[in-house]
Amino acid sequence: MSTKRKVYYCPVEFTLDQIAGKWKILIVLQLRFGAKRYTELIKKVRGITPKMLSQHLKDLEQQGIIHRQIFAEIPPKVEYSLTKEGEKLFPIIDSLAQWGSVNMEKEKGSEIV
Amino acid sequence: MSTKRKVYYCPVEFTLDQIAGKWKILIVLQLRFGAKRYTELIKKVRGITPKMLSQHLKDLEQQGIIHRQIFAEIPPKVEYSLTKEGEKLFPIIDSLAQWGSVNMEKEKGSEIV
DNA sequence: CCGTATCCGAATAGATACTG
DNA sequence: CAGTATCTATTCGGATACGG
């Protein structure tokens, strides 16, 4: 659970704890372009396994970052979307993307396996 | 080692891989306010152990984010500072801090252990 | 003072198979 | 379709001791 209470000495530390790991931000990134279903996310968030996706979707929902909507249909349909809270992560994503674009360039020339 | 090569499908993923974990950003955060010595960092980066600090300082140096300067003195003196590359992480840190300040407030009222 | 080495347990991540 | 269950692999992290 990500509901452990602890003392945070600074806001940066707090945020890191909230969004740590390689998946949460990538999930939010995908949802930025509109609500998505579980299976869509599995495809779009490359490399994620069902287990990791479930786990992080649950966490993110509890944190109030995403919203989970169930449609009572056959076949079942569940859509995930960002809350207002979640949208506030955009600046973080943008800064990560910005830095990444610049520094990925630098790695051109090194081999990619 | 953090030198494994892999394919990155997007800049955000690349960045996350570079700065993942709870320590790297916190170390950079401290160095933002000026060069610091090993022992100072141990004190300022609350909770970090010698092992983790060494490990991440080494990583960060290899990534070109920090600079390690050795002074030939007795007693030995080593100072760590940010490179130009490292300073480019400021926008990320700022956005993390911004989000954190806002959301830490919301947790007032919940108990802190 | 500035680290490194080793050991070990805990936590995380991942592959894969299976279910309502 | 939307997940869980299970099992294993990998990494993280802390304690402690030691070296230049």
DSSP state letter for A98: H
How far apart, in Å, are the Cα atoms of B72 and each of A26, A72, A76, B76, B108? 45, 72, 69, 6, 49
- Cα angle A108-B8-A96, degrees, rounded to a multiple of 5: 95
**Sorting pLDDT into bands at 50, 70 and 90, what band is A107?**
low
A50 sits within 7 Å of strand D by its CB: yes
Taking the C-alpha atoms of residue A88 and residue B100, their distance in angstroms, rounded to an integer, is 11
Q: What is the mean pLDDT of chain A?
A: 88
**Sorting pLDDT into bands at 50, 70 and 90, what band is A108?**
low
Q: What is the mean pLDDT of chain B?
A: 86
Looking at this protein, which amino acid is placed at residue A9?
Y
Taking the C-alpha atoms of residue B37 and residue B7, their distance in angstroms, rounded to an integer, is 35
Looking at this protein, which amino acid is placed at residue B23?
W
B33 CA, D17 C1': Å apart: 33
Taking the C-alpha atoms of residue B29 and residue A14, their distance in angstroms, rounded to an integer, is 13
The answer, as to whether pTM is greater than 0.85, is yes
A13 contact residues in B (CB cutoff 8 A)? 22, 26, 100
Which bases along strand C come within 7 Å of a protein CB atom? 1-6, 12-17, 20
In this predicted structure, what is the pLDDT of residue B107? 66
pLDDT in tens, B58-82: 999 998 999 999 998 888 899 999 9
Cβ <8 Å between A96 and B16 = yes
B25 contact residues in A (CB cutoff 8 A)? 12, 16
pLDDT in tens, A37-54: 999 999 999 999 999 999
Q: Which residue is nearest to nucleotide D14 (CA to C1')?
A: B49
A94 contact residues in B (CB cutoff 8 A)? 95
In this predicted structure, what is the pLDDT of residue A2? 38
